[in-house]
Every structure is written in C-alpha cells, then in structure tokens.
C-alpha cells in the first residue's frame, strides 16, 4: 500500500479543521495542556483513516488507549501527534505548531508526515526520500553561518540536562536554542536548522520529523548514540542532525557529561 496520498490527505484535512476553529479553549489543564484544537485535529485524522478502511493500530498522543482500525493488523502501527506545541497554539503562536503522523510497517519506519499549521506546508517521507510539498529534497551539504542546535526542555531538570550537555558547544561554533518540535526538526531538511535534541525519553509520537530528516540524508539516534527502536510504547531520547559530524559532536558531549556525573556521583 502506498501511504503517501493517505497521509497527506489526513494532514490536509486536519490543517483545514484547525483553520475553521473560531475559539481555542482548554479541555484539560494538566502538565501537557489539551485544547479543543487537539481533540479536533486528532478526531479528524482518525476519521480520515477510518474512511480509508485501513486495518492497523493507532497510537495517538491524545488517546489513552490504542485505537483498533478494521481487524487491527498488528504489523501496521500509525503514530499521531495531532497538535505539537499546544501551549504555543493556545497563545496564537502557530509558527511553531504542526500536525504529525508516522506509519510503521512490520517494525520498520516507513512513512512520516508533518504539516505546518501556519503556512500549510507539508513535509513527508516515503520509503526512499523526503519531500516538501511533494517536491523531493535532500539536506543541503553546505549552510552559511553558525550551526543551530534546537532542543525542547521546558522544566528545570530537563533544562539543566540540556544546557549542561550543550554548554561547551554554545561557547564555540554553535547557537543553542531551547525551542522547537516536530516542525523545526523537519525543517532541518531545508537547511533552517542543523540539529534537534530531546533530552527526556519520549515515545515515537515526537519522532515523526526525525524520520523525515533521516530519509533526506540526516542522522538520528538516541542521546547515547545507539539506534532508535521503533516500538510505539517505548520511550527514548533523541538526537537528529543534518550530518554525521554534527551528530557525533552532540553525542560525544552528552556521553562525556554522563561519564562525569557517574565519576562525581552528581
């Protein structure tokens, strides 16, 4: 099955549904806030998938339980992040926000889609390549200016780990910023950024953009440099880089930090 038209349709319909919301309101005010926009984006994608009469399992960030499609083919796992960076969307800062989806077939990451809520641009990958608005694209070999590394560390312990791991690079040839998500990760393929880091272990719901970067020629792994495991239930750290040189620098920094902590007991 070619998932490209299905995935793009799901993303487009979700972007359209979000555009039609007149007022964004909080539904659940928890650590990860949920709004009516999250619910609408989630329900729109699920409805679209059901219309395609697909058999598989849906793992959505907005659902407590796995959703069974059709006969529930366990070889087909659909990963959803219906609205990334909800807290910014709630404030009207949509330029950081996206709708994301990934398809894993037989434990192999096959397709991924990230839709830019602000512009309508869609980044995706199939089994061979990555695309922006259906135009094949590869990561630029050379990019002008200082390298830019992004992370997402909103709370103290994550913030501390992120900046302590990155402080040496920030003092050298890298700009280090604590913002971003699926969309900014996907934009590595267009040369907007050089790397993205998740210091806290997350599920695959946060990794759709990472797969797009990998298919465009980038490098992805856990913080310890080991390969990702494509299990929807497993939480992992993440490093995404546009080339092996930048990836190695980041991984080595966190490995060195880890060794220091073990030796000092801090």
Task: Work out the angle at residue 88's Cα, subtended by the Cα atoms of residues 14 and 61, and round it to the nearest 5 degrees.
Answer: 50
Q: CA-based diameter of the chain, in Å?
A: 57
In this prediction, what percent of the chain has a pLDDT beyond 70? 96
Distance CA 113, CA 166 (A): 29
Q: Which of 19-23, 34-38, 232-236, 252-256 has the lowest mean pLDDT?
A: 252-256
The reported pLDDT for the residue numbered 158 is 85
Q: Which residue has the higher pLDDT, 13 or 255?
A: 13
Q: HSE of 90 in the Cβ direction (CA atoms, 13 Å)? A: 14
Q: Return contacts of 135-140, CB within 8 angstroms, 24+ apart.
A: 137/189, 137/190, 137/216, 138/189, 138/216, 138/217, 139/188, 139/189, 139/191, 139/213, 139/216, 139/217, 139/218, 139/242, 139/243, 140/190, 140/191, 140/242
Phi, psi of 145 (to 5 degrees): 85, 175
The reported pLDDT for the residue numbered 75 is 97
Average pLDDT score over residue span 42-46: 98
**Is a pLDDT exceeding 60 seen at residue 262?**
no
Paired residues of 132 in beta bridges: 123, 135
- For 115-148, how does the pLDDT look when each residue is reduced to its tens digit (9 = 90+)? 999 999 999 999 999 999 999 999 999 899 999 9
- For 181-195, how does the pLDDT look when each residue is reduced to its tens digit (9 = 90+)? 999 999 999 999 999
Average pLDDT score over residue span 33-59: 96
Distance CA 214, CA 219 (A): 6
Token pair in block for residue 64: 């407590």
Distance CA 192, CA 250 (A): 18
Token pair in block for residue 9: 């349709």
Which residue carries 């929807």 as its tokens?
Answer: 232
Q: Which residue has the higher pLDDT, 156 or 241?
A: 241
Domains in the chain (CATH in brackets) are 4-137 (3.30.540.10), 147-264 (3.40.190.80)
Q: Which residue has the higher pLDDT, 1 or 98?
A: 98
Average pLDDT score over residue span 54-59: 96
Residues 69 and 10 sit within 8 Å (Cβ to Cβ): no
The reported pLDDT for the residue numbered 1 is 85
- For 158-167, how does the pLDDT look when each residue is reduced to its tens digit (9 = 90+)? 889 998 999 9
How many helical (H) and strand (E) elements, i.e. helices and strands, does the chain have? 7, 15
* Termini Cα distance of the chain: 51
pTM of the model: 0.95
Which residue carries 């997350």 as its tokens?
Answer: 202
The reported pLDDT for the residue numbered 266 is 53
Average pLDDT score over residue span 67-93: 96
CA nearest neighbour of 212 among 135, 140, 133, 123: 123
At 53, the pLDDT band (50, 70, 90 cuts) reads confident
Distance CA 51, CA 203 (A): 26
Average pLDDT score over residue span 18-36: 90
Taking the CB of residue 76, how many other CB atoms lie within 10 A of it? Answer: 20
């Amino acid at each position: 099955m070619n998932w490209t038209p299905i995935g793009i349709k799901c993303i487009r319909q979700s972007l359209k549904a979000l555009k039609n919301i007149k007022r964004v309101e909080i539904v659940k005010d928890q650590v990860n806030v949920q709004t009516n926009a999250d619910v609408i984006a989630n329900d729109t994608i699920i409805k679209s998938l059901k219309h395609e009469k697909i058999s598989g399992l849906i793992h959505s960030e907005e659902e407590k339980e796995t959703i069974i499609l059709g006969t529930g083919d366990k070889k087909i796992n659909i990963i959803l992040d219906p609205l990334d960076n909800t807290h910014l969307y709630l404030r009207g800062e949509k330029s950081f926000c996206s709708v994301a989806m990934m398809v894993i077939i037989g434990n192999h990451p096959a397709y991924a889609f990230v839709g830019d809520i602000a512009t309508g641009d869609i980044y995706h990958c199939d089994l061979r390549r990555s695309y922006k608005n259906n135009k094949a694209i590869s990561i630029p070999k050379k990019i002008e200016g200082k390298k830019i590394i992004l992370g997402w560390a909103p709370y103290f312990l994550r913030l501390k780990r992120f900046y302590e791991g990155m402080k040496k690079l920030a003092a050298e040839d890298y700009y280090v910023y604590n913002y971003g998500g699926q969309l900014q990760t996907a934009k590595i393929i267009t040369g907007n950024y050089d790397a993205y880091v998740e210091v806290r272990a997350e599920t695959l719901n946060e990794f759709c953009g990472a797969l797009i970067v990998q298919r465009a020629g980038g490098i992805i792994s856990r913080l310890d440099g080991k390969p990702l495991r494509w299990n929807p239930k497993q939480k992992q750290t993440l490093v995404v880089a546009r080339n092996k040189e930048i990836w190695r620098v980041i991984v080595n920094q966190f490995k060195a930090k880890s060794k220091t902590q073990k030796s000092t007991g801090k």
